[in-house]
Amino acid sequence: MSDRVDRRIAGNGFTMAVIVMVVILAGIAGVFFWRQGNGPGAGTVTGPGMAVPLQRPDEPLTVTQYLPENGILAPGTGSVKRQPEIQAQAREVLAGLFTGQQAAPPILKDALVRGFFLDPEGTAYVDLAAVSEGGMRASAMEELLAVYAVVNTLMENFEEIKQVRFLLDGREAQALAGHIDLSRSFARRLDLVRQ
């Protein structure tokens, strides 16, 4: 055989080895992707030392709620319908507090959530309305616990919320039931939470 023929055979062997390696790597990648979608780890995102379940849009969202109980706020969990964006999700969480959806009485029986807005700086605006013509009726302690049930629940579940302000019927409010000054911003108060 001439040198020319030998080189051609050696070159063909190298090409064949590359093709075999590509086929093997494609097979391994195919098995890996098939296992990600169908195997025992399907539905989880894994990283160094963690496995986090992927959220399904139709699954309820579990939230921490602070509800008044015997003169203090009691932490608990509830589930609400999952929403596509933070403002709608916060409205859903607030609705649970004010309607008593979680087998607990509403935090203020004379109030309902009219709206919710979160500004870019992290201030949440909770717009409330009185259910009856007589306005909201509550003792000073009931009003204090209702305010901080809202504030603590929002700030616990939404890291984007840095402070909370209250509105009544779309306007700045002085008080809900005449006891607590609402003309300022509120931050979480854990001293009112049962330990």
Q: What is the mean pLDDT of residues 170-179?
A: 72
- Tokens representing residue 11 in the block: 């070159």
Query: Given this model, what pLDDT does residue 164 score?
Result: 96
52: helix, strand or coil: strand
CB 116 within 8 A of CB 87: yes
Distances (CA, A) of 34 to 26, 28, 39, 54, 86: 12, 10, 7, 17, 33
Distances (CA, A) of 51 to 44, 46, 56, 59: 6, 4, 16, 18
Query: Given this model, what pLDDT does residue 49 score?
Result: 42
Confidence of residue 118 (pLDDT cuts 50, 70, 90): very high
> pLDDT by residue (tens digit) across 120-153?
999 999 998 877 665 556 677 888 888 899 999 9
Confidence of residue 162 (pLDDT cuts 50, 70, 90): very high
Query: Given this model, what pLDDT does residue 187 score?
Result: 93
| Separation between Cα atoms, residue 130 and residue 109, nearest integer Å | 9
Residue 109 above 70 pLDDT?
no
Mean pLDDT, the chain, integer? 76
Query: Given this model, what pLDDT does residue 143 score?
Result: 81
49 vs 36, residue with greater confidence:
36
Q: What is the mean pLDDT of residues 156-175?
A: 89
List of residues 6+ apart from 111 with CB closer than 8 A: 98, 128, 129, 130, 131, 136, 146, 176
CB 94 within 8 A of CB 188: no
Q: What is the mean pLDDT of residues 38-63?
A: 55
Residue 169 above 90 pLDDT?
no
For residue 133, the number of C-alpha atoms closer than 13 Å in the C-beta half-sphere is 0
pLDDT above 90 coverage of the chain, percent: 21
| Separation between Cα atoms, residue 141 and residue 11, nearest integer Å | 87
